Structure formats: structure tokens, C-alpha cells
Copies of this chain bind each other. A is one copy, B any other.
Amino acid sequence: MAEREFREQELPEQEFPEQDPVKLYVPKRKNLHTVRDPFAPVGVFDSGVGGLTVFREIMRQMPEERLVYFGDTARLPYGAKSRETVIRFSRQIVRFLRSQGVKAIVIACNTASSFALETLARESDIPVIGVIYAGALTAARTTKNGCVGVIGTRGTVKSRIYEQVIRSLNPEVRVIQKACPLFVPLVEEGLIHDSVTDEIASRYLQELKGKYVDTLVLGCTHYPLLRSTIAKIMGDEVTLVNPAYETAVELKEILGREKLLNPGQVQADAAPADGEQYRFFVSDLAESFTDFAASILPGRVKNAQKIEIEEY
């Protein structure tokens, strides 16, 4: 009981209404699959470039799949936006991705997964998955001492979404959260291996080290790029959970179950007119998109096409 009291003190105040995480995070099964074409692409979206770490994991684990990426570069970041705004933006993006004939959608953004997954999955007749459930499930299964750390942006931490999902899976798990707002700008400035990033990471993670977490969720799509720095500070005894990796595993499982995995043979009438396996769309021609995308997907990003997302 002392343990439980301690946890109650440590956690920040609840700011969003409680929800049923199971209802939220298990894809709806009814009315699925009006697009039942295994050769159709998978849609992946994020507020900007961060979701490319999820895109990369899907490429690695399912090299036969065609992928369409959308980065909402005109309106990023989502982290400080309200639930209502994020749902509105996400609906527009889903309408755009549906116009590209996708067979499934991956919300590769923690904020949009947290705020919009339930709504989008309810409204959709194809599978829609977010980045939170798979990472939370892995964390709940991995921890041995029942103490899981979660790092993310201010928005993700404030939403307490990982905590809700992890504890819905195992109410005995204690979840310690820590916001690391400088990680994204440091990564985007290219300071991935740098003394300043080491110093900032040490400050952010010190608090978690003092609380004996044995499992740490990288709860922001940029953070896998700082994996080695974070691993060095946390030490070998802490297992890092990368939701990007786990989400790709979950996607593969769902596509397999639904017989929607791309068999990898060319089907002439289903092939895209432009023949591209990977296509990238943005809501604004942010040069940082192509620079960053090229740096994490070398040779894969020919160009990104701008679309007017507000028209969808």
C-alpha cells in the first residue's frame, strides 16, 4: 500500500477525462474492408517528419508493401493542439488517404493516436491503428519489476495516454512519465550524437533512473533516433520499447489476419500509374521534410508532393 501511495504522489495531475483504453485502442472489426485489395497501399500519417520512423519500420518488416505517407507540415506540431482540432485535422488526412485507395491506415503520431484513433476507427471501414497500443502492450509484458517509464512530448505526457493503456492491460504496473520537449528540436537540428544532447538527456532521464524503471517507452516518434544516447544513460538493465517497431509488428499481424498482406507480385491493373512503391505528400513544402526524410530513409525519398489538405 505504501507503494501505491507513492505512485499516486508521483504522477502529475489528470487533465483529460478518463476513457476506456480498450475501446479506444483495439481496432473496430465491424464493417471493415470495403477496400479489400492486398495490392493497395497502406497510408501512414503524422503531423510532420516524426512518423517516418514508423514508415521505416514498416518498410523493413514488410518490404512488399506499397506505402503512402502524409506529413501535415503546414500545421505541425500537433503536440500543443486541442483534441477537437487534432480530430478535425486527422479526419481531413484520412479523407485524403482514402482518395489514394489505401487498404489500412497507420496514425504514426502520438498526439493524433491519443486524440483521434477512437473517432477515426469508428468512422472507418478499413483498419486504422495508432502508435500507442502496441508499445504499451509490449511495455506491460516486458516489465519484471512492474515499474515502466514513458518519455514523450509535453502533450503526450499530459494526456497520460500510455499510462492509461498500460494500466488497462495490467493495473499493477506503476508508470512514471517524463516530458522531454527539447529532444525533437535537437534531433531536427541534427545533434543526434552531441554533448549538448547528452547533457539534456541526462537531465531529463535522471528522474526516471532514480525511480527504478526497468522498461522505458520511447513515446515520441522522433525518439528512436536518440536510442543509443538514451540506452547509454539508462544502462543495460533498462529495456527500451520502440512503439514504431511494435506498431509495424501489429500492422503485419492485422494485415495477415485479414488476408490483406501484399504478396509482392506485380498485378498489372492494380499497379500505381507512377510505379512508385513509396509516395510522400505534405500540406506545405517544408524543406525540412525532404532533408530530414532523406536523412532517415536514404535513397527512398525522391520528392514530396504538396496537397491542399484543408480541401479534404
| Residues on A facing B (Cβ under 8 Å) | 73-75, 80-82, 85, 154, 158, 181-182, 184-186, 188-189, 195-196, 199-200, 284-288, 306, 310
Contacts and interface: CB of A to CB of B under 8 A. Distances in A.
Contacts of A75: 74-75
A196 B306 CA distance: 37
A154 to B, nearest CB: 7
A292 to B, nearest CB: 11
B182 A186 contact: yes
Contact of A199 (B181, B196, B288): B196
Contacts of A182: 182, 185-186, 189
B288 A80 contact: yes
User: How often does this chain occur in the complex, in copies?
Assistant: 2
Contacts of A82: 284-285, 306
A85 to B, nearest CB: 5
A285 B80 CA distance: 8
B185 A196 contact: no
Contacts of A154: 288
A188 B196 contact: no
Nearest to A89: B74
A288 B82 CA distance: 12
Contacts of A186: 182
Contact of A85 (B81, B188, B189, B284): B284
Given A75-B75, A80-B287, 12 more contacts: A73-B80, A82-B284, A85-B284, A154-B288, A158-B287, A181-B185, A181-B189, A182-B182, A185-B185, A195-B199, A196-B196, A196-B200
A135 to B, nearest CB: 24
A202 B285 CA distance: 31
A186 B310 CA distance: 31
Contacts of A74: 75, 81, 85
A79 B147 CA distance: 40
Nearest to A200: B196
- Across the A-B interface, give the 5 residue pairs with the lowest CB-CB distance, nearest first: A185-B185, A80-B286, A81-B284, A85-B284, A75-B75
Contacts of A189: 181-182
A82 B304 CA distance: 14
Nearest to A288: B80
Nearest to A286: B80
30 contacts: A73-B80, A73-B81, A74-B75, A74-B81, A74-B85, A75-B75, A80-B284, A80-B286, A80-B287, A81-B284, A81-B286, A82-B284, A82-B285, A82-B306, A85-B284, A154-B288, A158-B287, A181-B185, A181-B188, A181-B189, A182-B182, A182-B185, A182-B186, A182-B189, A184-B185, A185-B185, A196-B196, A196-B199, A196-B200, A310-B310
A73 B155 CA distance: 14
A267 to B, nearest CB: 37
A80 B49 CA distance: 13
